Every structure is written in C-alpha cells, then in structure tokens.
C-alpha cells in the first residue's frame, strides 16, 4: 500500500522546560526533530513524510528544507504543515495534506526521537497483512491504580482516594508510530473534530479515536528506546541511549 508517515512536532515542550518548542531542543548534538526524521527515513516505510510544525516557525521550516536537500533521489518526499493547538489538531492538519493515492498512514511523535527502525517495520508489516489499525505497545512495569478526588472529610489525610487497581497483565503502555488504513483514520479524526473541549482534552493518541468507531486495533511489540522525551529525566535517558551500547 502507498504509505505516508505523519510526524507531529508542533508541541511547545512545556514539561521539558527549555523555553522553546521541543522539536528544537538539542539531543546528541542535533535537534530532537532531526533525530526523529532520520529515524523515519531510515525505516524506509513511506513515500511521503508530512511534518506538523509549530505555526509560523521559520527556523524549523528551514531545518526541514536543509534536511530535504540531503535526501537521495528516490527518497521520500518531505512536506510541512502548520500544527494546531492540540496534538489531534496537528494530526488533522497533516491528514489534509497527504498526497492523493495514499492508502495507509503511520502517525509518529517527534518526541519519540529514538524509535528503532524495526518498530516502524513491525507496524507497517501488520498493516500490509490487513490490519486497519496497529499500535506498538509495551508491558507496564508499575502497578496502575485509578483514583478520585476525596470529599472534604478525607482530604485532610490525602487529596486522592484509590478507586481500583487495574490488572497489570492486561495493561500496555502505548507508543508511536501508530499505523492506520488512511480512510479509517480520517473517519476517526472527522468524528473527533466535533468533540467538546473536555472530550478533546482526553484524546491522547490516534488509536483511541479509531477504537470509538469499533474498528479493531492490533498491538505489536514496541521498544524501550521509543520513550517519549517529555521531562528532563527523559532527555538524560535519551542522551545516554545515544552514547551507550544501544545508541
């Protein structure tokens, strides 16, 4: 199938705390975005790579333009769109910019800059085998509990009370790239465009929108190196991965 990869890189990187968009933050002498893009190109699963950037960021647009020059003939076409105010808005902007004839799409977080090629390939292979939706997933190491805010009387002890413990063997921590039949993902994002603010704020990945359509989502194995660089600690881990035997 003709496949595109959407790389969402339009976030502001608040939690990383560098005072600049996360895509620009240095990692191993480059930017996080460049690591992510090199990984996507190396995986060799797509004809088009569409990158959602912070609206109006000339510096990142130039970075992409310079990178495009490096690509050999026959390599993927790299296009750029302005991202939106939420991740889902950024995905929607990129979905609207894919070339005619695209049949499948992988949506990838630029923040997962060190995702191994094999994960892209696993997702693409599952799509080629007929899945309409595929996510990379990892077993969870922590015990995960649900909580609620306590009423006035309990809040003197602690602000939250445990309401349940999820069975860990059924839980997965979900990563990107997430792969979809293009028509299915477009349908899912069209539906999500009608969400109110509270519903929109609860959208944390693309697969959950496809789940709402009742389309089966298949899980393949992800990788530890695909960690989402979110906090300063994550950046230290990513630097360590580049220096160490896994880099």
Q: Which residues bind ligand CTP (CB under 6 A)?
A: 8-15, 22, 52, 83-87, 90, 109-111, 228, 230
Which x/- pattern over 3-32 shows residues binding Mg ion (rule: CB under 5 A)?
A: --------x---------------------
**Which of ligand CTP, Mg ion, none binds 228 (CB below 5-8 Å, type-dependent)?**
ligand CTP
Q: Is the CB of 68 or the CB of 86 nearer to ligand CTP?
A: 86
Q: Is the CB of 10 or the CB of 210 nearer to Mg ion?
A: 10
**Which of ligand CTP, Mg ion, none binds 33 (CB below 5-8 Å, type-dependent)?**
none
The pairing of strands 218-221 and 133-139 is: parallel
How far is 158 from 131, CA to CA, in rounded Å? 45
* Residue with smallest beta-carbon separation from Mg ion: 11
Other Cβ atoms less than 10 A from the Cβ of 36: the count is 25
Q: Is the CB of 109 or the CB of 181 nearer to Mg ion?
A: 109
**Which of Mg ion, ligand CTP, none binds 150 (CB below 5-8 Å, type-dependent)?**
none
Q: How far is the CB of 11 from Mg ion (least distance, A)?
A: 5
Give the interface with Mg ion as residue ranges (CB under 5 A): 11
């Amino acid at each position: 199938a003709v496949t595109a990869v959407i790389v969402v890189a339009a976030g502001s990187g608040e939690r990383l705390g560098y005072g600049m968009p996360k895509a620009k933050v240095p990692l191993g002498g480059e930017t996080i975005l460049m690591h992510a893009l090199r990984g996507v190109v190396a995986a060799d699963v797509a004809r088009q790579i569409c990158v959602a950037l912070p609206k109006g960021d000339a510096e990142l647009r130039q970075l992409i333009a310079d990178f495009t020059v490096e690509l050999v003939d026959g390599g993927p076409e790299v296009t750029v769109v302005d991202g939106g105010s939420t991740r889902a808005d950024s995905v929607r902007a990129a979905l609207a910019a894919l070339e005619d004839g695209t049949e499948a799409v992988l949506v990838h977080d630029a923040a997962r800059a060190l995702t191994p090629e094999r994960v892209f390939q696993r997702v693409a292979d599952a799509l080629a085998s007929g899945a309409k939706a595929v996510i990379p997933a990892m077993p969870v190491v922590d015990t995960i509990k649900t909580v609620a805010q306590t009423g006035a009387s309990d809040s003197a002890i602690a602000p939250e009370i445990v309401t349940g413990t999820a069975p860990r063997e059924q839980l997965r921590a979900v990563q990107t790239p997430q792969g979809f039949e293009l028509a299915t993902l477009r349908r899912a994002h069209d539906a999500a465009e009608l969400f109110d603010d509270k519903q929109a704020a609860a959208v944390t990945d693309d697969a959950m929108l496809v789940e709402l359509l009742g389309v089966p989502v298949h899980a393949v194995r992800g990788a530890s190196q695909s960690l989402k660089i979110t906090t300063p600690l994550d950046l230290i881990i990513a630097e360590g991965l580049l220096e160490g035997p896994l880099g």
